[in-house]
Amino acid sequence: MPEVWIPYGEVEASLRLKHENYEGTAEPLKIEGYSGEIKDALYYITDGKKTSVELLQKSFPLLKPFDFKKAGETIIDGVLVKVPENIEKTIIVCTVRLDPLYGFTGPHSILASLLGLEGEVLNRKEKDTATVNGSSASFAARILEETKPYAICHFGGVTQRVLMGPAMEVFKRIQAAFLEMAVKQKKRRLIVASAGGYPYDDTLFDALLSAYNLLPFIDNDGEIILASECQNGLGDEGLRRLTLGLSSNSQASQILGKLKKQAHLTLVSSFPNALTGRLGISGHSSLTEAFEFIESRNSWKLKAWIVKESATLYSGEQ
């Protein structure tokens, strides 16, 4: 009888399965750590996640927060970009995960957002369905090429997967890993998935972003069990509106709608079941409880595909 363990917050949750109910496991994205030269760095920018702050304090404890002072303007791919002073002496520290707009989060997404270029990125995204290596990611990467900051990027709480050095080099290594490790699409009836642990399941918004990557792998009217602690709540005003019976068009609300349209979504989290029920999601306190409920509803015949890190599960399209 296989026993699988998947990340849940900063710990792991377990599920015992009969052999006839087990269809294999998708492991977290594999990528080798990288340490390039970082010199003359004076400032930092982070995504605010605890792991990012800890890595920064461990490696570069004397850096100062970056101050966005204007230094000049330049044209990048036909767009006027304001280039801040000392950006080339700055380290961008962030978590890597797949992202519907930027392809994946990284130094390119952090910097483009801070420079107010999300609209330009979106314009390119709307013309190109590819993201990891599409026009939206490429435009954001061009900002890195011109401004030349450094980066420290990590995958969740797994510190072995840390890349640091010139931001453009870090970007290229992450992009290559996603393209090389893309998981072949195959539709499943049941997926038991973890968002990937902290910070991929810090909030329900984070968890839904992770679950969004499961859509290419789930049958219409299939079953998704998502294990995500969500210790910091909903993480999105639009989701809060939905719990109050109000309408919402936030990104999180749209993703939730797409997931519910294609599959039955069951959440194993710290949320009370009454709250998840208001969002149209089945809520359970353990993987075993959720699995047994779904299995009984489907005559005990489903095979479970286990996904340990849906935040980085790349199908080749998004």
Per-residue pLDDT tens listing for the chain (318 residues): 578 899 999 999 999 888 888 999 999 999 999 999 999 999 999 999 888 999 999 999 999 999 888 778 888 888 888 888 999 999 999 999 999 889 999 999 999 999 998 888 888 776 655 578 888 889 999 999 999 999 999 998 666 899 999 999 999 999 999 999 999 889 999 999 999 999 999 999 999 999 999 999 999 999 999 999 999 999 999 999 999 998 999 989 999 999 999 999 999 998 988 899 999 999 998 999 999 888 887 776 788 999 999 999 998 765
Please tell me the total count of domains within the chain. Answer: 2
pLDDT of residue 170: 97
Distance CA(274)–CA(203), nearest Å, equals: 17
Residue 188 lies in a domain: yes
Residue 48 lies in a domain: yes
What is the tens place of the pLDDT at every residue in 70-101? 778 888 888 888 888 999 999 999 999 999 88
Residues 216 and 129 in one domain: no
Angle at 97 between CA 302 and CA 125, to 5 degrees: 100
Give the CA distances from residue 181 to residues 184, 221, 315, in Å, rounded to whole numbers and listed in that order.
9, 27, 9
pLDDT of residue 113: 92
Residues 95 and 134 in one domain: yes
- Residue 104: CATH number of its domain: 3.40.50.11440
pLDDT of residue 318: 57
pLDDT of residue 74: 84
pLDDT of residue 129: 59
Give me the residue label for tokens 């996904």.
307
179, 201, 225: which is the final residue of a domain? 179
* First CA to last CA distance, the chain: 34
- Residue 292: CATH number of its domain: 3.90.226.30
Residues 45 and 158 in one domain: yes
pTM (2 decimals)?
Answer: 0.91
Residue 318 lies in a domain: no
Distance CA(194)–CA(209), nearest Å, equals: 12
Distance CA(228)–CA(283), nearest Å, equals: 11
pLDDT of residue 159: 63
Residues 142 and 107 in one domain: yes
**191-211: burial string, b at 16+ Cβ within 10 Å, e else:** bbbbbbbbbbbbbbbbbbbbb
pLDDT of residue 158: 60
pLDDT of residue 128: 55
122, 144, 179: which is the final residue of a domain? 179
Residue 240 lies in a domain: yes
Residue 206 lies in a domain: yes
Asked whether the beta carbons of 267 and 281 are under 8 A apart, the reply is yes
127, 144, 179: which is the final residue of a domain? 179
Residue 69 lies in a domain: yes
Asked whether the beta carbons of 263 and 224 are under 8 A apart, the reply is yes
Give the CA distances from residue 168 to residues 97, 145, 174, 220, 252, in Å, rounded to whole numbers and listed in that order.
17, 6, 10, 39, 29
**DSSP of 3-50, one letter per residue?**
EEEEEETTEEEEEE--GGGEEEEEPPPP---EE----S--EEEE---H
Which SS3 state, helix, strand or coil, does residue 231 take?
coil
- For residue 38, give its domain range: 34-179
pLDDT of residue 300: 63
Written as six digits, the tokens of 103 are 């392809």
pLDDT of residue 78: 84
Q: What share of the chain is helix, strand, coil (3-state, %, to 5)?
A: 35, 30, 35
Burial of 54: CB neighbours in 10 Å, binned 0-12, 13-18, 19+: middle
pLDDT of residue 177: 96
